[in-house]
């Protein structure tokens, strides 16, 4: 387990995860109530309930703090009910992967070949026998495993079974005083609005919005018959398109959420943004 690993345990932060909704009759409220009831029944000591918008706000900002008035917001509150599962945690994924990578380098039977992506899987007698890289080199293999996530549909024909979609992510710089003030906050996600916030880490707060998602439509050769073309959604990232930023409507939705739950950050410039891709069956045009 990560907790028992001397290296990885330093990168694990068990600060809980708070699930919020607007409290109006909807599937989000039903899910929250069901999860809370199940948690309180099985492990009551690790579940904290918040039944008012004041309690939700104070979970982050302290017991003497008050959320912005509804007259100042100019709309109904969307952060009204919540619970926190104290057992949940987040981990520094980048540093953790680096640790695993360094360990793999010490295993004689493991090799990493970086610098050129896979262009396609090579097929011989209806069986994969290796890969062709974008730089023209080939790698022979008795077994080929595709674990490319949202990039998989360029390598294997998946039809409409999965569709890569992108969610908006943004980072906001915070001061040392702000990081100290909020360092113990839990991961906080609003199921009604889709906003998700992480505690400050290394001088910044990461936020994302679980929207219906975006797709990037492109035409590529059919992986199983390269004489044909197929239309797919394929990740468009800051690696291939460094000037890309999140759509303006996504930024507006994020800031509208922040005005209620993190008002001092609502108008602060984003340090950087990107679209984070994963596979789903739901999408809207990008």
Q: State pLDDT tens for residues 85-144.
A: 999 999 999 999 999 999 999 999 999 998 899 999 999 988 999 999 999 999 999 999
Q: Are the CB atoms for 174 and 182 separated by under 8 Å?
A: yes
Of the pLDDT bands very low, low, confident and very high (cuts 50, 70, 90), residue 285 is very low
Which comes out higher in pLDDT, residue 49 or 161? Answer: 49
* The predicted structure's pLDDT at residue 211: 86
First CA to last CA distance, the chain: 40
For the chain, which residues make up each domain, given as ranges?
A: 113-145, 150-286
Over pLDDT 90: what percentage of the chain? Answer: 88
- CB burial of 253-267 (b: ≥16 within 10 Å; e: otherwise) equals bbbebbbbbbeebbe
Q: Which CATH class is domain 150-286?
A: alpha beta
Of the pLDDT bands very low, low, confident and very high (cuts 50, 70, 90), residue 212 is confident
Over pLDDT 70: what percentage of the chain? Answer: 98
* The predicted structure's pLDDT at residue 281: 55
CA dist., res. 286 & res. 284, Å (int): 7
CA dist., res. 238 & res. 17, Å (int): 29
- The model's pLDDT over 150-181, given as tens digits with 9 standing for 90+, comes to 999 999 999 888 889 999 999 999 999 999 99
The DSSP secondary-structure symbol of 156 reads S
If we measure between CA atoms, which residue out of 180, 176, 185, 167 comes closest to residue 262? 185
Mean pLDDT of 15-40: 96
């Amino acid at each position: 387990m990560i907790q028992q690993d001397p290296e990885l345990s330093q990168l694990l932060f068990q600060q809980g995860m708070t699930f919020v909704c607007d409290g109006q009759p909807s599937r989000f409220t039903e899910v929250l109530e069901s999860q809370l009831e199940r948690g309180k029944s099985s492990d009551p000591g690790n579940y904290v309930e918040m039944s008012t918008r004041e309690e939700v706000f104070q979970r982050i900002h302290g017991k003497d703090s008050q959320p912005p008035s509804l007259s100042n917001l100019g709309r109904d509150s969307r952060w009204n009910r919540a619970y926190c599962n104290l057992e949940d945690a987040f981990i520094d994924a980048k540093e953790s992967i680096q640790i695993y990578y360094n360990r793999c380098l010490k295993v004689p039977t493991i090799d990493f070949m970086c610098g050129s992506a896979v262009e396609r899987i090579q097929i011989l007698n209806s069986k994969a026998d290796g890969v062709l890289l974008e730089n023209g080199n080939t790698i022979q293999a008795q077994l080929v495993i595709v674990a490319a996530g949202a990039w998989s549909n360029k390598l294997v024909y998946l039809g409409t079974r999965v569709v890569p979609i992108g969610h908006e992510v943004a980072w906001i710089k915070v001061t040392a005083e702000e990081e100290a003030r909020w360092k113990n906050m839990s991961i906080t996600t609003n199921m009604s609005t889709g906003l998700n916030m992480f505690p400050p880490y290394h001088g910044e707060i990461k936020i994302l919005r679980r929207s219906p998602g975006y797709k990037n439509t492109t035409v590529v050769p059919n992986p199983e018959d390269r004489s044909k073309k197929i239309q797919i959604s394929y990740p468009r990232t800051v690696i291939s398109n460094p000037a890309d930023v999140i759509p303006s409507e996504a930024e507006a939705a994020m800031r509208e959420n922040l005005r209620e739950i993190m008002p001092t950050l609502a108008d602060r410039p984003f340090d950087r943004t990107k679209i984070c891709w994963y596979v789903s069956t739901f999408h809207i045009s990008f």
